[in-house]
Chain A
Amino acid sequence: MLLRTCRLLPSVSLASRTHSPASFLVMAILPQLTRTLAPCRLVLRKRLFSSFRRHAVTRSMASDPAAAADATRFDFLVIGGGSGGLAGARRAAELGANTAVIESHKLGGTCVNVGCVPKKVMWNAAVHAEYLHDHNDYGFDVGNVRFSWETLKAKRDAYVTHLNRIYRNNLDKAKIQTVQGYARFTDAPEPTVEVNGRKYTAPHILIATGGQPSVLSDDEVPGASLGITSDGFFELETLPKRSVIVGAGYIAVEMAGILSTLGSKTSLIIRQTGVLRNFDTFISTNCTKELQNTGIDLWKNSQVKSVSKTDKGLEVTIVTKDPEKKNDEEKISVIQEVDCLLWAIGRQPNTSGLNIGGMGVDTDEKGHIIVDEFQNTNRSGIYAVGDVCGKALLTPVAIAAGRKLAHRLFEGKKDSKLDYSSIPTVVFSHPPIGTVGLTEEEAIKARGKENIKIYKTSFTPMYHAITSRKSQCIMKLVCEGKEEKVVGLHMQGLGCDEMLQGFAVAIKMGATKADFDKTVAIHPTSSEEFVTMR
């Protein structure tokens, strides 16, 4: 009863009278009335304080009857039920905020449905294929091997559906209301969103609408729409016989790796000479090499010129420049009978349908929402986390930022924010890559070559001591200053996917080369090479 009363009170008394003595009186009384319900009081107090801050913006529910009357009011409204949105919503609800999540598609967002999770299942399957190649070397004689993409897809899809249900249950248990549909900000002065004709508002609105794969239009590249993106990859019903992937980022690398390792004849088209060009060159060079070693047909200095459909599959026309030659001679080639052309050329934010422009929320030229270090947009009461902001497009980053925001808004922790430095990340290539901190290039640029010391090693992991198929393990430490503080760690090799997290903790703590060296090695592993580098 008291809880309901709490929520009603503000709508009556929290008018635009931010400077009137009367409102001070009201503020003084309210805490008395709500003393017995701690979370409610905290929420109220937050709202009271935030209304003080809204000096320049005269927002008054009393003066906009439409917004007050037919909009369902929450303490926290989250647009987007993906990694960032759900994490923020659940933490806010835990802290006592009455929360709603608006989701246009499936709970879990990109990560659960068309990202991290199904990707990892496919990568695990590709690892199985690698073990199959090596069985003979380890004494196992297997008969004929048949691979069924259909079997794998069915189980993968079932797992994703299972997760969708778990996410639904978690929201229900947390008493978070879920609204299915697309949200769009109305023109009401107080931020209000409309979903399927119904209006919702809250003093705190989080935009976590994520992103989607970028595509080229048929004007830019004729026939481009004959290709798919990573979204389409997860709809493939069968293993493509002939795949062409376009792109040099981690998604292109992962897609190409999965398809090739599972048996699709795969080409990778890149505009320059290496993949992962924003990674340390040690990794970029090695990964490019390993891709080719695993049988991927790599086209450097190339772009897709056009795509056409024939009855035998797609015909992909590629133009290759040789940067060495003086004349800009271009070579035209055609790959025929392609049954899967996959564009992995970047991602773009989901902001176009939101009408945030109408709210005056600033975005960059690509549509990413601009936020400060606390995830505030330029519009008070509106925040953004995750891929829609365009910075560090990773599920754990969105989750951490969402939770930090919840603590700031609903627990009074005004300094609560995510530290975006030294974020570790793994690329599920073959073998996997792990990286955290600065590249050698970035470190030299920031601190000067004389202040940077590099330690590196490469070796063949013991696993390959008895296999004909080989992969390398490479490791690099970027150290700065006299004390050799480890500012960057980069690696590629078997096991690197699970190896990185602990080193990331140490590096976040400011580990030096000496800290690494005084830790006793664990034998026999690949990881021990990091603490025995000379």
Chain B
Amino acid sequence: MWNAAVHAEYLHDHNDYGFDVGNVRFSWETLKAKRDAYVTHLNRIYRNNLDKAKIQTVQGYARFTDAPEPTVEVNGRKYTAPHILIATGGQPSVLSDDEVPGASLGITSDGFFELETLPKRSVIVGAGYIAVEMAGILSTLGSKTSLIIRQTGVLRNFDTFISTNCTKELQNTGIDLWKNSQVKSVSKTDKGLEVTIVTKDPEKKNDEEKISVIQEVDCLLWAIGRQPNTSGLNIGGMGVDTDEKGHIIVDEFQNTNRSGIYAVGDVCGKALLTPVAIAAGRKLAHRLFEGKKDSKLDYSSIPTVVFSHPPIGTVGLTEEEAIKARGKENIKIYKTSFTPMYHAITSRKSQCIMKLVCEGKEEKVVGLHMQGLGCDEMLQGFAVAIKMGATKADFDKTVAIHPTSSEEFVTMR
């Protein structure tokens, strides 16, 4: 969907580049059909890979029995092993109709992928990366989109440089941003949903609340967090510890507190990213079945990209985290912002911002943060360098590649 949104952005810019296109019509149906076919194709590939590897697949929900030796039951049949890995993942969080009347009239990211047509009017609730990505896709593809956030910026756990810039870019692309706001209630009319929003102004002395209503909404999307899939497993019966949200607690080797039972991925609640789950799962396999008793995933400096418009890349500590950990006097910041050459001849503009968080006399790069065209493919190589302990000098002694945006990272002053 992000790739499709990028197409829409190119459509906006065609004129500037000398291309005169006639009337443009977008068919969500065409796109969805092809996207679904691709996903089905991948399902088949994954099935084939398992078959080729002679891995038996069992379809159904697993639940631990009360047997002393860890055993799971699926559709009446029992399975056991000396090593059992729980990797049940998570799902989008929802508010109940008790918490917010009519909340169930909205969808989550799961429902987003079931939408049969482009919503005319979308309201997204949330400030994390999923909310940002969903809002970006819908707005760029042509849905009039509002984003409801409880505070004043999105991506509040990212470096403030990114959080501020992303919030600004969202608004620049035409998303109607509601700060200091929450959904109070939702009701259904024959013209669509009516979403009632309460807005607080933190500046004012009195806790005055403003009530507003967005009408004729055909898509209300809750992107307010995710929760682990542990409730049906009966791991409590196994004595496996979870935190207050249901995440399975593991040590650095992915062990739960129960010998022979392990967990990886979103169900653990730490670094909810596919490559993290993959890497942790593989490291575990090498530990259990190749005797590599030190095999574990290093969770530090995990790079991640947010597919916003333009995309964000980040690895390592934020400036705030670095100052807190090492003291302001030990931290040096390098940053830059510029308009990428792509926009030199377009009326639509986006910025590219880059920041290096450096520590100590040798200026070790402990954090790298960026947003801009190309940042999605730009980050991986820098993540390798940072994992190796790169310093600002290592960056500077690398010859720049011209003309690119990436070269700005090795020429910062």
Query: Do A139 and B404 touch across chains, with their CB atoms under 8 A apart?
Result: no
Query: Do A139 and B28 touch across chains, with their CB atoms under 8 A apart?
Result: yes
Check: B70 CB closer than 8 A to any chain A CB.
no
Q: Given contacts A121-B341, A121-B344, are A501 and B18 in contact (CB under 8 A)?
A: no
What CA separation (Å) do A148 and B22 show in the bound complex? 14
The residue in chain B whose Cβ has the minimal distance to the Cβ of A464 is B3
Q: Given contacts A501-B378, A504-B381, are A518 and B387 in contact (CB under 8 A)?
A: yes
Residues of A within 8 A of B279 (CB): 520-521
What are the interface flags for B10-49 relative to A under an 8 Å C-beta threshold, 1 for contact and 0 otherwise? 1101101111111111111111001101100000000000
Query: Do B21 and A527 touch across chains, with their CB atoms under 8 A apart?
Result: no
Query: Do B407 and A508 touch across chains, with their CB atoms under 8 A apart?
Result: no
Query: Do B14 and A132 touch across chains, with their CB atoms under 8 A apart?
Result: yes
Q: Given contacts A117-B341, A140-B11, are A505 and B381 in contact (CB under 8 A)?
A: yes
Query: Do A135 and B11 touch across chains, with their CB atoms under 8 A apart?
Result: yes
Q: Given contacts A143-B23, A146-B19, A515-B384, are A522 and B401 in contact (CB under 8 A)?
A: no
Check: A369 CB closer than 8 A to any chain B CB.
no
Residues of A within 8 A of B217 (CB): none
Residues of A within 8 A of B16 (CB): 155
Check: A463 CB closer than 8 A to any chain B CB.
yes
The residue in chain B whose Cβ has the minimal distance to the Cβ of A120 is B403
What are the interface flags for B77-113 relative to A under an 8 Å C-beta threshold, 1 for contact and 0 otherwise? 0000000000000000000000000000000000000
Query: Do B22 and A145 touch across chains, with their CB atoms under 8 A apart?
Result: yes
Query: Do B378 and A138 touch across chains, with their CB atoms under 8 A apart?
Result: no
What are the interface flags for B365-402 relative to A under an 8 Å C-beta threshold, 1 for contact and 0 otherwise? 00000000011111111111101101000110111111
Check: A131 CB closer than 8 A to any chain B CB.
yes
Q: Given contacts A135-B7, A504-B401, are A519 and B379 in contact (CB under 8 A)?
A: no
What CA separation (Å) do A462 and B407 show in the bound complex? 26
Residue picked from B21, B375, B379, B404, most chain A C-beta under 10 Å = B404
What CA separation (Å) do A81 and B4 show in the bound complex? 43
**Minimum Cβ distance to chain B for residue A158 (Å):** 8
Residue picked from B20, B342, B400, most chain A C-beta under 10 Å = B400
Q: Given contacts A466-B34, A511-B388, are A141 and B25 in contact (CB under 8 A)?
A: yes
Check: A14 CB closer than 8 A to any chain B CB.
no
Q: Given contacts A141-B25, A146-B19, A155-B16, are A519 and B380 in contact (CB under 8 A)?
A: yes
Q: Which of B176-184, B198-206, B300-308, B322-330 binds A?
A: B300-308
Check: A62 CB closer than 8 A to any chain B CB.
no
Query: Which size class do A's interface residues fall under?
Result: 35 or more
Q: Given contacts A148-B20, A522-B305, are A138 and B380 in contact (CB under 8 A)?
A: no
Q: Given contacts A145-B20, A395-B402, A501-B404, are A124 and B342 in contact (CB under 8 A)?
A: yes
Query: Do B14 and A508 touch across chains, with their CB atoms under 8 A apart?
Result: no
Query: Do A505 and B7 touch across chains, with their CB atoms under 8 A apart?
Result: no
Check: B275 CB closer than 8 A to any chain A CB.
yes
Check: B50 CB closer than 8 A to any chain A CB.
no
What CA separation (Å) do A117 and B404 show in the bound complex? 10
Q: Which single member of A140, A143, A148, A397 contacts B26 (CB below 8 Å)?
A: A140
Query: Do A419 and B397 touch across chains, with their CB atoms under 8 A apart?
Result: yes
What are the interface flags for B287-316 relative to A under an 8 Å C-beta threshold, 1 for contact and 0 otherwise? 000000000011001111100000001000
**Minimum Cβ distance to chain B for residue A1 (Å):** 31
Q: Which single member of B18, B377, B397 contacts A499 (CB below 8 Å)?
A: B377
Check: A277 CB closer than 8 A to any chain B CB.
no
What CA separation (Å) do A137 and B279 show in the bound complex? 34
Q: Given contacts A131-B7, A147-B18, A521-B275, are A501 and B24 in contact (CB under 8 A)?
A: no
What are the interface flags for B198-230 relative to A under an 8 Å C-beta threshold, 1 for contact and 0 otherwise? 000000000000000000000000000000000
Q: Which single member of A128, A131, A498, A528 contacts B404 (CB below 8 Å)?
A: A498
- Which parts of A488-534 form the interface with B (CB within 8 Å)? 495-506, 508-509, 511, 515-516, 518-523, 525-528, 530-531
Residues of A within 8 A of B383 (CB): 502, 519-520, 522
Residues of B within 8 A of A144 (CB): 21-22
The residue in chain B whose Cβ has the minimal distance to the Cβ of A493 is B377
Check: B410 CB closer than 8 A to any chain A CB.
yes
Residues of B within 8 A of A151 (CB): 18
What are the interface flags for A186-206 relative to B under an 8 Å C-beta threshold, 1 for contact and 0 otherwise? 000000000000000000000
What are the interface flags for B323-359 relative to A under an 8 Å C-beta threshold, 1 for contact and 0 otherwise? 0000000000000000001101100000000000000
Check: B409 CB closer than 8 A to any chain A CB.
yes
Residues of B within 8 A of A124 (CB): 17, 341-342
Query: Do A465 and B38 touch across chains, with their CB atoms under 8 A apart?
Result: yes
**Minimum Cβ distance to chain A for residue B231 (Å):** 27
Query: Do A120 and B341 touch across chains, with their CB atoms under 8 A apart?
Result: yes
What CA separation (Å) do A139 and B377 show in the bound complex? 24
Check: B274 CB closer than 8 A to any chain A CB.
yes
Query: Do B303 and A501 touch across chains, with their CB atoms under 8 A apart?
Result: no
> How many inter-chain contacts with C-beta < 8 Å in the A-B complex?
247
Check: A400 CB closer than 8 A to any chain B CB.
yes
Q: Which of A27-35, A247-255, A290-298, A421-429 binds B?
A: A421-429
What CA separation (Å) do A56 and B247 show in the bound complex? 79
Check: A114 CB closer than 8 A to any chain B CB.
no
What CA separation (Å) do A492 and B29 show in the bound complex? 33
Residues of A within 8 A of B7 (CB): 131, 134-135, 138, 140
- Which parts of A126-165 form the interface with B (CB within 8 Å)? 128-129, 131-132, 134-135, 137-152, 155-156, 158-159
Check: B8 CB closer than 8 A to any chain A CB.
yes
What CA separation (Å) do A519 and B7 show in the bound complex? 31
**Minimum Cβ distance to chain B for residue A145 (Å):** 5
Query: Do A132 and B19 touch across chains, with their CB atoms under 8 A apart?
Result: yes
**Minimum Cβ distance to chain A for residue B52 (Å):** 16
Check: A116 CB closer than 8 A to any chain B CB.
yes
Query: Do A141 and B24 touch across chains, with their CB atoms under 8 A apart?
Result: yes
Check: A213 CB closer than 8 A to any chain B CB.
no
27 A-B pairs with CB atoms under 8 Å apart are A128-B10, A132-B14, A139-B30, A139-B31, A140-B7, A140-B8, A142-B22, A146-B20, A151-B18, A152-B18, A155-B18, A156-B345, A466-B31, A466-B37, A495-B377, A499-B377, A501-B400, A502-B378, A505-B395, A518-B298, A519-B380, A520-B273, A520-B383, A522-B275, A522-B304, A525-B380, A528-B275
The 10 closest A-B pairs by CB, nearest first: A143-B22, A502-B381, A503-B381, A502-B382, A498-B374, A495-B377, A527-B380, A501-B406, A139-B31, A152-B18
**20 further contact pairs, Cβ within 8 A, besides A140-B24, A142-B23:** A121-B345, A139-B26, A141-B26, A143-B22, A146-B20, A149-B18, A152-B345, A395-B402, A396-B401, A466-B37, A497-B401, A501-B398, A501-B409, A502-B385, A515-B388, A516-B384, A519-B380, A525-B305, A527-B379, A527-B381
